[in-house]
Structures are given as structure tokens and as C-alpha cells.
Structure 1
Amino acid sequence: MSSSYSSPLLRLGVVLPALTVLKLSAHLAGVSDVLLHDHQLSSPLTSFSQLQEGLYLFRHGIDPYNGGTFRHSPLLLALFSSVLPSSKVFMATLLALCDAVAAWALVRTWRARQNVPSSARDGLVAAAYLLNPYNFLPSLALSTSPLESALLLLAVMFASQKKAAPSLLSLAFLSHLTPNAILFLPPLLLLLLTDPHSHLASPQKISFKRHKVLPLAVEFLLYVGVLTVASTLVAGNLNWVAQTWGTWYAFTLPDLTPNVGMWWYFFTEMFDHFRPFFLMVFSVHLLIYVAPLCIKFQHDPLYALFILTGILATFKAYPTLADMGLFLSMISIFPETFPYLRFPIVTSLLHLHSALLLPLFHHLWLTQGTGNANFYYASTLVFACSNGAAILDCLFAGLRIAVGKEVDGYEVVQE
């Protein structure tokens, strides 16, 4: 292994606290005030300002879900109105700790995949998450996206360690915050029933105890049911269902605030009589990837979950940069695929290009007023292309690694 990996500066015990302190310092320096209302870093479902608005109404006995603007889970209402303070300083500290937990969970997943108690690469894996600007900036903007990323990585970590209850409970919490997360359940169940080690280079049909799938699925639904009852008790009625889950499940898309996704502009320009059809198409579109990925990568469900993370980050209704940041950070735990990436330089340049265009066109349109919505939407399309290039490159590498080269040609080792 390269000596640079064993450098004292890249050890996990140095990287994790140092970068966490760096993030807290940026918060205390006032960076959060500049980024707080940036549409690229927070969405209506993760905005700190909207969370504060809902908390204010809730504390004064007003149902925050009656106004049609508050879309956070009642679990966050309960958490920040009774247990945790909702000040900017505390929120900054909490989100920095969430990022540290997420990086730690990613490292533990990497160790479980390599079947080692520790690794010289641990610090690099943690740094790949904490220094990724797509993760760093949403945390500075006080978006709740770092909490969602931490919950997903905790669910994956526990599944890699064969701890079913905490894994499914973490996913249940995440599903209440962002309902699309329920699509991670099939690959997570496969991961619980198989081993997390890399089998991309030697794929074979796996055999697992299928009779254990149903009990695990029922356990997950039980956790979701308990959290649903708790949320209803907190909210005092069922209005929260339409305002939170309904944003995703009822094909309504009620808030067209600009974001880095592709939905908002499309439905802003959509004729009303076409809207229900295309809402259904866009929503169902997210479902079609789950089964093919789980079947094709059944020998390595962790890789299937990784690819699905990128797909949801690209096509979900209310994405932020943190969604794609999670996908790009997870690439670090699959180094065996690096030699098989076709166009890593092109993909990196595409992301650099979109990372420059997004804030530029956002500023021209919403700050200076010298542009229009087409400016910003053009940059989000470039961002979507760069995301698609990254997903396709990783998908190709995960399949190509199973093809061994011979002297006279290629031999497919996949069964």
C-alpha cells in the first residue's frame, strides 16, 4: 500500500476531529448567514429557516401544517421543541457532529467490506466525505441534509455488521424525513442477508435464507408504524401526512422553489391538464431502477445501494448538493473499480463545470436580476448530466470488473 496512506496526518484519529473543528470554525465565522437561503444547499424539506418557522408556530399552539409551507417531519418538531435548542449555534454544532458520525459510519462500512479491524485508508475515506464541497456547504447552510446522510450511512454500516434492528430503525427514521429512502429497503435487506465483502470481480448467484426476508420487512414496517403513531401524537392530527409524505407520495409537488433538480422548472412550465400525468411518470420513474440493480448486483448488494443512491440524488423531486455529495463520497469505499472507470477525468471536469455554473447563474437570476429562470435551469441540466456521467461510469466499472482479459481476447467470469 502506498506510504502516503500511512501518513500520520491521514489517520482517522487526526482527520475526523480536525475537519470537524474546521467546519465548526467556519460556522462560527459567520459563513452560515451567507449560505442560509441558498436554493442549491437546502430545499423546502431541509431548510433551517422553515424549520424555525414551524417551531415558532408549534410552540404558540398553531398547527404548522395548516399553512401549506412547513414540510419537516413532526419528529423534528418534537426533537427541537422539547429536547434540543433550535439556535443557529447549536444547529451548526449538531450538523457538524452529524457529518462526523456519517464519515465514521462510512469508514466502518469500508472496514466491514475489507473484513479488517482497521485500515491505513481510513483517514482518506473520512476526508473524502468531510472535504467534499457538496457535503461541506449544505452543512454550513444549516440544511438538515447532513442528518439524512448520517442516517443512511448508519443504516448501511449496521447492515454491513449484521445488526438488523439498528439498521432498519435508522432507515425507518430516514424514511420519515425523506420518504424516497424506502427504496433503499430491498438492497439493505440483501446486505443484511449476505456478506458486505466485495464480489464484483467474482460475481456468482448468491444463496440466502429467503424466509428471513419477510420478518425483516415486517420489522421495518413495525418501526415505521411506531414512528407514524408518534408523529401523529406530536402533530395532534393527520395533517402532517399530506404536507410531508404527500409531497412525495401523493404526486402533488406543491412547492416549486428552485433547486438543483429537474422537476421544478419542468412543472412550472407545465400546462395544468398535463400535470397529473407527468407527476405520476416522474414519481414512478424512481421505482424502476430498484429491482434491476438488486438482481444484477445481488452478489454485491452494497454496490447496488451505492448506485441507487446516485440515481435518487439525480432524479428526486427536492434534491440538494448533499444528495450527490453522498454518492460521490461513497465511491471511496470501492477502490477496486477505479481502474475500470472509463472517463473519470471527463466526469470530474463536468462536475467542476456545473459547480461553477450553478452559483453563477443562481446569482445572475435571483440576486442581480440580469437573467431569468432559464439561466439557472440550464446549469441544473449540466449538473444532471455530470451526475449521470458519474453513475454510468460507476455502473460500467462495477460490471466491467467481472470480465477478465486473456491473451487472445476476453473471458467473462460472471456466472
Structure 2
Amino acid sequence: MSALAKFRVAFPLLVSARLILTQTSFPDALKHDALLSSPLTSYSHLQEGIYLYNLGVNPYSGGVFHHSPLLLSFFTTVLPNSRWAAHLLWTAADAVAAWSLVSIWRSRQKVPESSRDWIVAAAYLLNPYVLLPTLALSSSSLENALALLALMFASRGKASAAIFCLALLLQMSLSSLLLMAPTLLLLLTSPTSQLASPRPFQSEIRKLVPLVAELAAYTASLTLTSAVVAGGCTWMPQTWGVSLTLPDLTPNPGLWWYFFTEMFDHFRPFFLMVFSVHLLIYIAPMCIKFQHDMLYAAFLLIGVLGTFKAYPTISDPGLFLSMHVLFPEIYPYFRHPIVTALLHLHAALLMPMFHHLWLYQGTGNANFFYASTLVFACANGAALIECVWAGLRIAIGPEKEGFSVSQE
């Protein structure tokens, strides 16, 4: 069977299998799982907001609804508010995300198709970190699709489409600011692999000005639309602001919630600033160090988001792990891939077990679950460090002037 035939068979089969899974009782068991949905991405919170909006009540007045007004308007005007329609949309979003990943791979290789296309699609569609949040109808799956769409259009040089997807993503998640710089810079460079032959930035930086202006125009238009839908600006502190102020300390796979549960109120503003700035400090170093390969810089910043985001779900590091398939040239330069994989397996078993022991069995406490999320953070951090190391080490090669990988 040819490579194209494998892709044409595997892709619809995987998407159809996901759609079949949505018709089982499995999604009902997952819809309230704290690992799959956060207060910002929960489908039940979205349903509550839609219900209040249809009654003429401002859903942002209660401090519980944190979704973008664009999602609110979409579910009350375009898409019927039914669970079947929602599952169809989420499955379609995953299909679009997987297709975007394949398209990015083809752009990076400069080929119309390749023998790895079906592997690239399967790396996303079979990733349990991506599959389970989709079954739970977590809107993080929609954010992943928008992120990959933005990178796909940027890889193809389609500036307006990439910038519009990026503006939509910013409306849904303020943390996606991290992807703004590498996506815009990717439009000025080539998506092909330059890791083995790094060189200075090859384009004029002033070409960024019209791109930034277009992003600002799209963002302003979407913000105005959101204000019209929400009947004012009350949605801003309840959507964008929540990622900065952390009002909801519902347990999640991230590092923020337990730290601020134990934090004295007097020190809270300072540490909120520290945690927020900590995310931003990665942008410049990653974009400067990997200026020769902006797609790789975006990949690493997605890994940063998956590790240090305020309200993450396992879908966030899931996107980072799935994107590994785009960079097979770095595999030989990983130092401890087995240890990193086992850390992820360890955390994937510990987190649901300790969460159940704490909140359902009553035989544990918050420290149990937080300890497992620390293991998860270590696994994500280890994967990120592996990729940074490999991205730098590949420029030297396996052997150069007597220096070999085995001697490190």
C-alpha cells in the first residue's frame, strides 16, 4: 500500500473511531475530571453560561463562567446547543488539528505528501492526552486546533489566515501570547529544518510592522464583537483576567493552584506577578536562540505553556508531545528519553489515582494529588529540556573534533 493510500485509510478511520467513542457512556465518566477540564475550559461551565445567557442574565456576573464570548455566541446562534453537536464539533476540531499537523510536516519537508503522513496524524489522534480531553468536551481541544491552524498557515506563508487564527486563539486564552512572536516570525522565514545549520535571522525585522498591525486590527475587531455579545466589558476580567489573578483554585494538573491555596493574602499579588512574568521570560530567549528555525521555537514555547500555564489540562502538554513527530532529526540527540517517557507514564497513573483517593475515597489529602502533579511537571520539564538540548546539540553533530555523544 502506498504512503498516500495509508494516510487516506488511516485518517478517516481514526476520526470515525473518535466519533464512535463519543456515543458511548465513556464521555459521561470524564466530563467532570479535573485533569481533562479546568474552570476555563469545562463544558459544564459553558452550558451554565449558555443557559444564563438565554435567560437574559449576564453569565460573567457570577464569577463562574470564564469562556470567551465568542464561544457563547457560537453556541447560541450557529451551533445547536446539544451534546451531539458539541461532540461533532470537538471531533471535527481534532480532525482539523491532525490535518494541520500533517500539513506542517509537509511544509517542513517541502513535499506534497510523504510516507510519514499517517504517522503524523496518528501521533495526534491516538495521543491519550489529546483524546481524553476531547471526549470530556474540554475547550482546550479547540485551542490546540487553533494553535496548529495558525502554525500551518504561517508555514504556508498565508499571513492573513495565520494571524486571524492567532487572534481567535488569543480571545480564548490569554496565555497564547507566548505563540505570537514565533508565529509572526515564522511568516518571515522558512518552515524547513535549519537546526543542523543555524544562521542569523534572514529577514528584515521591519516587515513585522504590517503583520503586528493586522494582528492588532483582528484582535480589536474580535474584542469589540465579544463586548457586543457580552453587553459590555465585564467579560475581560472573567476570561483574560482569570489567568492573571487565579480566583478559582480548583485542583488541576498545573503548578499554580496548590501554591496559591497555601499563600498568605498579603503576598498573593507579588507571587501572581512572578508566576505571570515567569511565562513571558521564555519568549525572547527561545526566539533568539532558535531564530534560524521559528517553527521549533514555537514548539518549545508550546512546551513551556504545557508546563507552566495557570489553568492547564493534560491537553496542553499533549499538544507538545504530539508535535515531537514533526522533528525526527532531533531523536538521536535525546539524552534520557526512556526516563522521560517513564516519568509521564508514572504521572499518568498517579494523578487520577491520588485525585480519587483524596476527593472520593477520603483516604488522602491535597498533598497526595499535588505530589503527583509535581511528577507530571517534572515529566513535562524533562521533555522540554530534552528538546532544547537536542535542538542545540544537533548543530554540533554526533562527532566533531573528537567530541562524541557517548563522552558527554
Please state which band the TM-score falls in when normalised by the shorter chain: over 0.9
SS of the residue aligned with 1:28? coil
Q: Report whether the alignment pairs 1:200 with 2:195.
A: yes
Shift, 1:21, TM fit: 1.0
Deviations 1:178-212 (A, max 9, x none): 01112211111110000000000000112202221
**Alpha-carbon distance, 1:407 to partner:** 6.8
User: Amino acid of the residue matched to residue 280 of structure 2?
Assistant: L
Q: 1:397 to 1:407 in 2, by over 3 A?
A: closer
User: Which TM-score applies when normalising by structure 2?
Assistant: 0.97
Distance in 2 (alpha carbons) for counterparts of 1:348 and 1:7: 30
- Aligned: 1:171 with 2:166: yes
Question: 1:303 and 1:180 mapped to 2: Cα distance?
Answer: 19
Q: 2:144 aligns with which of 140, 144, 149?
A: 149
Output one character per residue of 1:71-125: Cα deviation in whole Å (capped at 9) or x when no partner. 0000011100011012111111110110000000000000000000000100000
Does residue 277 of structure 2 align to residue 284 of structure 1? Answer: yes
State the distance in 2 between where 1:14 and 1:295 align: 41
1:86 aligns to what? 81
C-alpha distance in structure 2 between counterparts of 1:367 and 1:14, whole Å: 42
CA distance in 2, matches of 1:345, 1:258: 29
Percentage of identical aligned residues = 60
Match of 1:384 in 2: 377
Distance in 2, matches of 1:212 and 1:407, equals 37
* Residue 103 (structure 2) aligned to one of 94, 108, 112: 108
**1:109-258 equivalent positions in 2, closer than 5 A:** 109-248=104-243, 251-258=244-251
Greater mean alpha carbon deviation, residues 354-363 or residues 364-373: 364-373
SS class of match (1:37): coil
Q: How does 1:15-34 map to 2 (within 5 A)?
A: 15-34=10-29
- Map of 2:262 onto structure 1: 269
Conserved 8 A contact 1:403-1:410: no
Deviations 1:264-300 (A, max 9, x none): 0100011110111111100110010000000000000
Number of equivalenced pairs: 404
Letter in 2 for 1:295: I
Residue 339 of structure 2 aligns to which amino acid in structure 1? V
Query: Counterparts of 1:357 and 1:406 in 2: how far apart (Å)?
Result: 40
In the alignment, residue 260 of structure 2 is paired with which amino acid? F
Which of 275, 279, 287 pairs up with 1:294?
A: 287
Q: How far off its partner does 1:406 sit?
A: 4.7
CA–CA separation in structure 1 for the residues paired with 2:177 and 2:80: 29
Partner of 1:370: 363
Kept in 2: contact 1:404–1:410 (CA 8 A): no
Root-mean-square deviation (Å): 1.3
User: Cα offset for 1:366?
Assistant: 1.3
CA shift, 1:7, in A, is 9.3
Tell me, in whole angstroms, the C-alpha distance in 2 between the residues paired with 1:389 and 1:287. Answer: 20
2:386 equivalent in structure 1 = 393
Q: Give the counterpart letter for 2:325 in structure 1.
A: S
CA contact (8 A) 2:200 2:291 kept: yes
Deviation (angstroms), 1:404: 2.9
Verify the 8 A CA contact 2:155 2:186 in the aligned structure 1: yes
Superposition map of 1:270-349 within 5 A = 270-349=263-342
Displacement of 1:405: 4.6
Other structure's SS at 1:39 match? coil
Give the whole-Å Cα distance in 1 for the aligned partners of 2:160 and 2:393: 35
C-alpha deviation, 1:369, in angstroms: 1.4
Return the TM-score normalized by structure 1: 0.95
C-alpha change, 1:364 and 1:407, in structure 2 (3 Å) is: closer
Counterpart code for 2:172 = L
CA drift at 1:144: 1.0
Distance in 2 separating the partners of 1:278 and 1:291: 22
Task: Report the alpha carbon displacement of residue 408 of structure 1 after superposing the two structures with TM.
Answer: 4.4
Gaps of 5+ in 1: none
Partners of 1:396 and 1:408 in 2: CA distance: 19
Amino acid at match of 1:297: F
Q: Give the AA of the match of 1:325.
A: G
Name the counterpart of 2:34.
39
Q: Which amino acid aligns with 1:15?
A: A
Q: Structure 1, residues 215-235: CA drift from partner, whole Å, max 9, x if none?
A: 101110110000000000001
The answer to which of 88-97 and 32-41 deviates more is: 88-97
Q: 1:304 to 1:408 in 2, by over 3 A?
A: closer
Cα distance, 1:63–1:6 mapped onto 2, change above 3 Å: same
Is the 8 Å Cα contact of residues 3 and 117 (structure 2) preserved in structure 1? no
